[in-house]
Amino acid sequence: MIDLPVITDPDDALSQPTRARLFAVLSELKRRAGTVELAERLELHPNGVRVHLERLAEQGLVERARPRSPRGRPPDAWTIARGARPGGRAPHAYQDLGRWLARALRARPDGLRGVERAGRAIGRELAPKDAAGDPGAIETALSALGFQPTIEHLDGHRTAICLGNCPYREAVRENQPAICALHRGITHGLLDVLEPRSRLTAFVPHDPDLAGCVIELRGLPTATPRNRQPAARPDAASAVRQRRYPL
């Protein structure tokens, strides 16, 4: 999950403890969650929680989505916003990364394959089981992990996901092959649970400070578009053509 920054600005939405808890819960869930569910988790009244969620949405930290409903107005559902910048900065996620690396490096005799295999097991554990089959589940999970994904549907059944942020950038500078192998394994594990019919066909890493890493998938269902901002990143299809990370 995304690490919560230390907030000193009283005008920042996350300076309020309930809003910080809501952001943390959504990051941990890595799926859509309704107002009532979030209120129950925090043991608060839904009306008050809705006000806090709307404040978070105003600052671009969460997004509101209304799932399709056969009748009547569908209930609100909330996710971490794709471009969320907690504390006004690109998100990072080192609390979880340190624990994952300690686990992955136990597999060092197998080198990067062992790290990736450990990452795949971690990804399966991270994937919210009750989000399996949701067309937007992968995008929601990657947003909650701090990657700021942008989805581009390519020709045929291919989909490219351009990652607008690397939450592990400082660790990547130290050992990019290991961190990318871990991330690639986590992506495989998320797909195993959320989209078992889809397949990871390319993994294109980039400079962690610039981000723009690309994941190419085959067989990913088309999701209902979420509110998007233009991504100031290289064209995802071009990035996949230029360099494919060996799978």
Q: Which pLDDT belongs to residue 108?
A: 61
Local confidence pLDDT in tens for the 247 residues of the chain: 787 777 768 888 899 999 999 999 999 999 999 999 999 999 999 999 999 999 999 999 999 976 665 566 667 899 999 899 998 888 888 878 877 876 777 656 678 898 899 999 999 999 998 888 788 899 999 999 999 999 998 877 899 999 999 999 888 888 888 899 999 999 999 999 999 999 999 999 999 999 899 999 999 886 544 544 434 444 555 554 444 444 4
Distance CA 162, CA 159 (A): 10
The answer to whether the CB of 171 falls within 8 A of the CB of 231 is no
Element (H, E) at 159: strand 158-163
The answer to whether the CB of 206 falls within 8 A of the CB of 213 is yes
Task: Print the SS3 string covering 50-85.
Answer: HHHHHHHHHCCCEEEECCCCCCCCCCCEEEECCCCC
pTM of the model: 0.74
Would you list the domain boundaries of the chain?
Answer: 13-88, 94-242
For the domain made up of 13-88, give the CATH fold: Arc Repressor Mutant, subunit A (1.10.10)
For the domain made up of 94-242, give the CATH fold: Muramoyl-pentapeptide Carboxypeptidase; domain 2 (3.30.1380)
Distance CA 61, CA 132 (A): 24
Distance CA 163, CA 207 (A): 12
Pairing status of strand 158-163 against strand 149-153:
antiparallel
Q: Which pLDDT belongs to residue 221?
A: 80
